[in-house]
Amino acid sequence: MLTNVAALLLDEVHPFELGVLCEVFGLDRSEDGLPVHDFAVVSAEGPVLRTHAGFTISTPHGLERLEEADLIAVPAGSHFMRREYPEEVLDALRRAVERGSRVLSVCSGAYVLGAAGLLDGRRCTTHWRHAAELSLRFPKAIVEPDVLYVDEGAVISSAGTAAGIDACLHLIRQEYGQEAANTLARRMVVPPHRDGGQAQYISRPLPRSSCDTVGSTLAWMERHLDQEMSVEQLAALAHMSPRTFARRFQQETGTTPYRWLLRQRVLLAQHLLETSELTIDTIAGRTGFGTAATLRHQFVRSLGTTPNAYRRTFRGPAATSVPDVA
């Protein structure tokens, strides 16, 4: 049972991500029938810590408090991607997992778990902007860059900012049931459930490697996303055989021509949904999906939401379009 929770803070912690943990685990909402946790904010680096917003936080609790915790949650902080962490902090996290406790990271807090070796061989996530760097720093981690959170049993990791709320509600749902999670979500005025596999809203793909031989072909593909294209046609543009082109494309982009093209079309659809009043049918045509049904299918597969739901999220209820089709 989850009764004892500690938020582990390092210098330059982000207040919002810490606030998420305090809101979910640190408030007494027993009058609503919700569980009460023995919650503590623990400093890893002295009694007074700076936040990235310019103010300080003080707490009487040191690392010894972690030995009692059923859950240790690590919020995001500035420069977590490039700094080193006290070895006693990493040891405390490893001991917690060894004795059966769980650890949870919010956004760049994943780097602390990675430094402790807790992401090795496990699926995990962080904010999409940091995912590539997380993979480079911890090559044994299985980084999923476009999901809201990942639950690997002892280790839960979540993406940027509000995705920490999703991960915490998931944990409440897991420990106390759907009703408790829904009640807490209503109190916090947030959606009661967004599945962990739902995609982060990534504004652009992760940086692709430089392309020595297919760069001009990529540029042509970007300019003609509304057109049908085959590997044979693209290979001819690149003056290669289809087999050589497919191999070079994979080497230089890390993916296949079809997957690259699909990703670019979805990105263009996102842009048009955010910035235009075009109908779903028109957007489907301009992005090369052809029909609204195909656009919707690929959009849901890629982002976990429909085109109209995406448009409402980023443009508000006044945005207009034709209804999504089945």
DSSP string for residues in 185-207: HHHHTS-S---TTSBP--SSPPP
> Beta-strand (E) ranges in the chain?
4-9, 38-43, 48-50, 56-58, 71-74, 102-106, 123-124, 142-143, 149-151, 155-158
- From the list 286, 266, 269, 274, the residue with the least C-alpha distance to 319 is 274
Q: Which 8-state DSSP code applies to residue 316?
A: -
Residue 31 burial (CB count, 10 A): 6
Contact 76, 134 (CB under 8 A): no
d(CA 91, CA 98): 10
- Annotated catalytic, 124? no
Contact predicate 116/124, CB 8 Å: no
Residue with structure tokens 């045509």? 285
Considering the candidates 22, 107, 168, 211, report the single residue annotated as catalytic. Answer: 107
Is residue 86 classed as helix, strand or coil in its secondary structure? coil
Tokens representing 120 are 């090795």
> What are the residue numbers of the active site?
107
